[in-house]
């Protein structure tokens, strides 16, 4: 199997877009007809709806984008039934030739970190079958090493939290130490690991999560991390537009995947899609919102030359 970065680059170029669709099933925002089909609101019934909703989204976006990003928390809140639904969603996305980056923000040390990495990373080698995983680095460099090693062994990838999109991220990430903010120290460690694992395409299996809500810092981090794929949240519902993420890309239009979740999967709830499609045609709204996001990224970033 090709490395994760090779497969990611190939998928982005084949679909001619870096758009990543987040799968964040929120019960209150799922179309009423699907919710009513559950019959009740037990965890088992909700999990079945989450699975069907995500499969329906995947059916729409699979021809259009290179990857999806399930958010583990929304499944985990339903307990074992939610875990089973998440596994089905990952397997279904894989069957549709999508890369799957699981957003679970795991992090630990020693054998526990190894267990997390082995649980999630690797399409065929792991229990969950994800191609990539988000990782929290704040336990230090030894907490990252097991994830890097397993990712290399299994042709998978990790995305380390460097500069997150939420306002509160500045509480710790922007603190200055030794003349630089903490997030730049994390970036240096991530870039070191990315460079060590880089392939002919120039990128390694260790990526960074860098928020679209910090466009100037995004530009600086692209310069600081030339071997690092970026996973960029904050585009769409969190307020960032396509011009804000332009600095994430290299000159070829590669090096970043741009996540949009609520703005796409619940597009039927907002204008102009609410009036045009409505709840009864929510999948058509997903398609229209996806195509619009693709057009925005093509127009405002170097991804337009893919």
Q: Decide: 288 and 267 in contact? Cβ < 8 Å.
A: yes
pLDDT over 90 (residue 200): no
Task: Tell me the pLDDT tens digit for each residue of 136-175.
Answer: 999 999 999 999 999 999 999 999 999 998 889 989 999 9
Is 237 a residue whose pLDDT tops 70?
no
Judge whether 96 counts as a catalytic residue: no
Please tell me which residue, 236 or 175, carries the higher pLDDT value. 175
15, 46, 69, 105: the catalytic one is 105
pTM of the model: 0.96
Q: How many helices (H) and strands (E) does the chain have?
A: 13, 10
d(C-alpha 261, C-alpha 257), whole Å: 13
Instruction: Kindly list the structural domains of the chain, giving each domain's residue range(s) and its CATH number in brackets, ordered by start.
Output: 4-299 (3.20.20.70)
Residue-level pLDDT at 236: 77
Q: 43-61 and 282-300 are packed helices; what angle lies between their axes, rounded to 10 degrees?
A: 50
- Average pLDDT of 249-276? 96
């Amino acid at each position: 199997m090709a490395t994760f970065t090779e497969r990611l680059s190939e998928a982005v170029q084949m679909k001619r877009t870096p758009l990543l669709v987040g799968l964040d099933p929120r019960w209150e925002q799922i179309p009423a007809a699907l919710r009513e089909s559950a019959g009740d609101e037990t965890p088992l019934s909700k999990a079945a709806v989450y699975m069907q909703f995500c499969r329906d989204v995947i059916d729409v976006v699979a021809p259009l984008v290179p990857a999806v990003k399930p958010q583990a928390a929304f499944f985990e809140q339903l307990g074992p039934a939610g875990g089973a639904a998440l596994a089905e969603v990952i397997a279904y996305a894989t069957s549709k030739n999508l890369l799957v980056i699981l957003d679970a923000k795991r992090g630990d040390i020693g054998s526990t970190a190894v267990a997390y990495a082995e649980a999630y990373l690797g399409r065929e080698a792991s229990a969950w079958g994800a191609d990539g995983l988000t990782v929290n680095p704040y336990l230090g460099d030894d907490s990252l090493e097991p994830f890097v090693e397993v990712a290399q062994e299994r042709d998978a990838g990790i995305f380390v939290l460097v500069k997150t999109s939420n306002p509160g991220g500045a509480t710790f990430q922007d603190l200055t130490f030794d003349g630089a903010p903490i997030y730049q120290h994390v970036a240096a460690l991530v870039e070191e690991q990315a460079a060590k694992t880089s392939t002919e395409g120039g990128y390694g299996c260790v990526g960074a999560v860098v928020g679209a809500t910090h466009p100037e810092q995004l530009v600086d981090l692209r310069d600081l991390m030339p071997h690092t794929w970026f996973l960029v949240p904050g585009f769409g519902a969190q307020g960032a537009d396509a011009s804000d993420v332009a600095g994430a890309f290299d000159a070829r239009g590669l090096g970043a995947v741009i996540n949009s979740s609520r703005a796409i999967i619940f597009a039927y709830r907002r204008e102009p899609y609410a009036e045009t499609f409505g709840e009864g045609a929510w999948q058509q709204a997903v398609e229209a919102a996806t195509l619009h996001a693709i057009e925005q990224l093509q127009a405002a970033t170097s991804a337009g030359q893919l």
